[in-house]
Amino acid sequence: MATTVPATTHRLPAARDLLRSNALWLWLIVATGALFRLQQFVVNRSFWHDETLLATAFVDHGFAQLIFEPLANNQAAPIGYLLLVKLVTVLLGSHEWTLRLVSLLSGLATLPLAVAVARLGFVSFAARATLVGLVAVSPVLVYYSTEFKQYQGDVLCTLLILWLTLRFRPEQHRRDALWLALVGAVGIWFSHPIDFVLAGSGLALWLEMARRRERAAWLSVNLVGLVWLASFLADYLLALRGVPQNAYLAGFWATSFAPIPPATLADLHWYREAALGLVYLGFLQMGTAFREVLPGWFSGPVYALLALTLLGCVALAFQRVRAAAMGAITLMAVLGASSLHLYPFRARLILFLVPFVFLALAALVQQLHELPLQRAAPWLAAGLAAGVSWMPLRLSLHYVRHPHNYQDIRGALQYIADHRQPGDHAMLSSWTYPAYSFYAPRTGLGDMPSFVYQPTANEVHNIRATVRRICQDPASGRTWVLATNQIVANNRAFLEALQTTSPPLFTLPMEGAALFLHDFRSTEFCQRYRSTLPPPGR
C-alpha cells in the first residue's frame, strides 16, 4: 500500500527556502518604500508656497505656452516634466494629486531601478540591501515623490543613467550605446541636472574604453556624446538660456555657489558645509529642503555619516572604478557649474546626487563583507547596513504616523468657507497670496474680497496701512487674517502689531498656518478713518 506524505512536509521546506531568498527580501524593501510613498500621496497635503507658485504659473498654460514661454513667479522646470504633468491634468483635471502624480510615479520607479543598480554593482546581499533600503526609506526621497516639483525626476534620471552606464559592455557596445544615447537625449528634457550626470557617464566610459583600447566601443561612446550634445543645445536654446540670467533666482541662491579655487578659510568652510549638507539631505532631511544652513548638519551622526561616505568612496574606487569615476566627474561638473554661478550646490537642487552617497555606503558594506574575518565579516557588514538604514527609516516611520503638511492653506480656507458671514474678507501677505489664489476658488471663496500687503521691515506700517484700507471700505465686515508658517514662525512682530490694533475674536492654530478673526470696525483706529469717508451719494 502506498503511503501519502502530508502536504505540509513539502510546503515547509519550500516556505523556508522562500524566506531565505535574498530576492524576496529585496522586493519586500521595495514594497516598503512604495507604501511610504503611496501613504504620503493619499494624505494629499496642501500645496506649500513653492508648489503654489508653480501651480499658479502652470495651470492656465497650454502645451505651446509651456514650451515657448517662460514660467511666471520666477519658476523654472524642465519642459518634458511640464508637458507630462499637463497631459495628466488634461486627462484627469487640475488637482493636487494629478499635479503630483508624475512625481509619485518617478518615486515608485526609482525603487526597482535601485534593485537593478544594486545587482550590477555588488555581490553581497548586505550591500545590495543597503542601496535599495536607503533609496526606499530616505525621508527626503519619500517626500519629493509627493511634491509638485521636478526633483524626484532628477533622482530617477540619475539612477537610470547609472544603471545604463554600469551595464555597458564593449562586446555589445552597439546596443548599450543606443540605449544610453536615447535615454540621455530624452532625459535632458525631463531633468536639468542630468547634464552633469551625463558628463560623468560619458567621460568615465570614454576614458575606460580608451584605456582598454576598445576602439569600436570608444567610437560608440563618442557618438553617444554627440547625440547628448545635440539634445542639450536644443534644450538650452529653447528653455535653459534664460534661467542663469534670472536675477531673482541668482539672488535667492547667492550663498550656494562654490568658491573655486578656495582662497580663504571661509571658502574651505563652504565645502565642509556643502558635504555635510549633502549627507544630511539624504539621511535626515525632513520635508522640504530649504537653502539655509541647518544646525543639524553639524551634529555627530552627520559627521559620522560623512566619514563613512568618504570611506565608501574609496571602497567604490577599488570595487567599481567606472561607478566611482562617474560619481567623481559628476561632482566636479556640478561644482564647476556652481563656481560659474550657473547651478547652485545646495538643498533640493542637489537631490540628484543622493544616489551616489548611497552607492558609496553600499560599497563600504561590500568591503566589510569581503574582509578575511570568516564569520565576523558578514555580521560587520550587516551591522553597518542596519545602522545607516535605521536613521532614515525611523524618520519615515514617524511620517507614516504624522504625515507632512507644511502649510495647511486648504484646511484654513475651508474653515473660513464653513464659518464666513456676509461682508467677511481675507487679509494676507503677498507671500501667502499665491496659495490663497490657488485654493480660494476650490474652497468656495472665489467671491470673497481680499486685502493683500507687501511685507516690509516695518510691520507696524504694514498692519496699519492694510487696516486703514479695510476701514475705508464701507462694505467691509469681519477680517480673517491668514498667516502662513513664515509669519507665525519667523515674524512675531507681525502678530504683535496686529493684536495691538485689535485683539482677535478667534484664533485657530493649524499645521503650518494660523487663522485670526478680527473685527476692526469698532476700534478707535478704524473709526478715525471711517469718519473721513464722504457721505453716501457724494
Q: Where are the beta strands (DSSP E) in 250-367?
A: none
> Rounded to an integer, what distance in angstroms lies between the CA atom of residue 175 and that of residue 170?
10
Buried b vs exposed e over 392-411: b needs ≥16 C-beta within 10 Å? bbebbeebeeebbbbbbbbb
Q: With 60 as the cut, is the pLDDT of residue 526 above it?
A: yes
* pLDDT confidence band for 537 (50 / 70 / 90): very low
pLDDT of residue 282: 97
> Rounded to an integer, what distance in angstroms lies between the CA atom of residue 225 and that of residue 219?
10
pLDDT of residue 242: 73
Tell me what the mean pLDDT of segment 493-516 comes to: 82
Q: With 70 as the cut, is the pLDDT of residue 15 above it?
A: no
Q: Could you tell me the sign of the dihedral formed by the alpha carbons of 481, 486, 488, 490, in that order?
A: negative
- DSSP assignment of 427-478 equals EEETTTHHHHHHHTGGGT-TTS-EEEE---S-HHHHHHHHHHHHHT-TT---
* pLDDT confidence band for 20 (50 / 70 / 90): low
Identify the residue with better confidence: 70 or 326.
Answer: 326
* pLDDT confidence band for 456 (50 / 70 / 90): confident
Phi, psi of 277 (to 5 degrees): -65, -40
Q: Could you tell me the sign of the dihedral formed by the alpha carbons of 51, 336, 283, 115, in that order?
A: positive
Tell me what the mean pLDDT of segment 487-515 comes to: 76
C-beta separation of 166 from 322 below 8 A: yes
pLDDT of residue 5: 53
pLDDT of residue 39: 96
Residue 372, preceding bond cis, omega within 30 degrees?
A: no
pLDDT of residue 473: 87
Q: With 70 as the cut, is the pLDDT of residue 522 above it?
A: yes
Identify the residue with better confidence: 240 or 423.
Answer: 423
Lowest mean pLDDT among 152-156, 231-235, 398-402: 398-402
Per-residue pLDDT tens over the stretch 95-141: 999 999 999 999 999 999 999 999 999 999 999 999 999 999 999 99
Query: Residue for cell digits 523654472?
Result: 76
C-beta separation of 85 from 99 below 8 A: yes
Residues 6+ apart with CB under 8 A from 387: none
pLDDT of residue 239: 84
C-beta separation of 117 from 94 below 8 A: no
C-alpha cell at 46: 496642501
Q: Minimal CA–CA distance to 33: which of 144, 128, 132?
A: 132
Query: What DSSP element (H or E) covers 311?
Result: helix 300-319
* pLDDT confidence band for 148 (50 / 70 / 90): very high
pLDDT of residue 145: 97
* pLDDT confidence band for 489 (50 / 70 / 90): very low
Query: What DSSP element (H or E) covers 355?
Result: helix 354-369
Per-residue pLDDT tens over the stretch 252-296: 888 899 999 999 999 999 999 999 999 999 999 988 898 889 999
Determine the angle formed by the axes of helices 265-283 and 354-369, rounding to 10 degrees: 80
pLDDT of residue 9: 54
Environment class of residue 521 by beta-carbon count within 10 Å: exposed (0-12), middle (13-18) or buried (19+)?
middle
Q: What is the mean pLDDT of the chain?
A: 90
pLDDT of residue 114: 98
Percent of the chain with pLDDT over 70: 93
Lowest mean pLDDT among 238-242, 325-329, 485-489: 485-489
pLDDT of residue 363: 98
**Which of 18-22, 354-358, 372-376 has the highest average model confidence (pLDDT)?**
354-358
